[in-house]
Amino acid sequence: MNSFARNAASAAQTISSQASRDSQPSQGSQPSQASQPSQGSQPSQASQPSQGSQPSQLSQGSQASQTVAAPGPQATPAQAMQVSSTSPAVRPRPLLLLGLDGTRWSIAAEPGVGTNLQRLAREGSWHQMTMEVPTISAPGWGSILTGTTHAEHGLRDNSCVGGRTWNCPDFLSQAFYEDQRTTTFAAAGWPVLVDPSGLGPIIHPRMEQQYAGLHNVIVRDGETYGYQRIDAEIADIAAAKLRSPEAFDVGFVYFCDVDDAGHVYGLQGEEYRAAIRRVDAHVGHLIEVISARDEDWLVVLTTDHGHRDEGGHGGDSPRERESWVVAWAPSGNIPDWPEIIEPWELAGLMLAARRA
């Protein structure tokens, strides 16, 4: 029996016992309140944290606090129980992370290539990020999405063998555990990130929340059907979700067309730039939909690694390790983040910006 059920049973028993008495309950007696899950220390914003001082993570099993109100003489079981949250009056700002796999900023910044990305960087903020080695997607996204280092999440390659991601909740899960009203959304065409039937996934499925309509996961297979096609489908699904009245509170949308082009054609020809233009158009579409909502959204964009000029990554060269972060908001409410961000710091920075 979980804590919520135990509290419900306790409340019902209390009501029954109170009804059998003639006297009123004591005004000072209140049942104990379940403790909030630990938020962990905030990551350093000035320099890379030492090996022994990584920011702590919320455990996957943590639950938001639940309180049982002291029932009066006329209380009903429904009135006796009330689920509390971190802030009943004010909801944190909505957040969307856009993952652009294998996108080298120096090429996206060329005239006529990443026009939307360039605009978002001008209107928002741009930050340098250097990825850990090996510069492979599963370890890279593992650090970005969960706020942990390679040593902590245990991912060494895209097979995810030996990974400990079940003990490293992604930032969507962390947001939900902080406040169980939070609705989350993830859409990706790379199954390792989202498909529970295959390798990974790095994004926790949280089936109970999916059944309750609090967590929506869109799984597509770009490895089989091609990322140019699947990225377009992912963008359309995400845009439709953002146009709906309820949308979501925290989301992650992933594109892999650019990385795929880098592997196939290298970075020196037109094919890689054409892929950036396609993904840039998807980004522009989502930004347009978000701007129409008239809400204080925070949109963050990043990539998991760079590429060698001839295409490919995994090593420790500067070109392979280079990454970047762009933070943008339609309201202009941009968080004050350091110029250099470590991969494992981003999740904590985003969640802190929601609460600010």
Domain ranges in the chain? 95-355
- The model's pLDDT over 134-154, given as tens digits with 9 standing for 90+, comes to 999 999 999 999 999 999 999
How would you label 291-313 residue by residue, b for 16+ Cβ within 10 Å and e otherwise?
Answer: eeeeeebbbbbbbbbbbbeebeb
Strand order in the sheet with 250-255: 125-130, 322-328, 298-302, 95-100, 250-255, 184-188, 215-219
CATH topology of domain 95-355: Alkaline Phosphatase, subunit A (3.40.720)
Count Cβ atoms below 10 Å from residue 356 Cβ, excluding itself.
11
Percent of the chain with pLDDT over 90: 73
* CA atoms of 272 and 322, how far apart (whole Å): 17
- The model's pLDDT over 51-91, given as tens digits with 9 standing for 90+, comes to 333 333 333 333 333 333 333 333 333 332 233 344 445 78
Percent of the chain with pLDDT over 70: 75
Among candidate residues 166, 126, 121, the one with its CA nearest the CA of residue 142: 166
Read off the pLDDT band of 273 (50, 70, 90).
very high
Residue 129's H or E segment, with its range, is: strand 125-130
* CA atoms of 273 and 269, how far apart (whole Å): 7
- The mean pLDDT value of the chain amounts to 83
* CA atoms of 161 and 171, how far apart (whole Å): 22
Distance from CA of residue 85 to its chain's centroid? 19
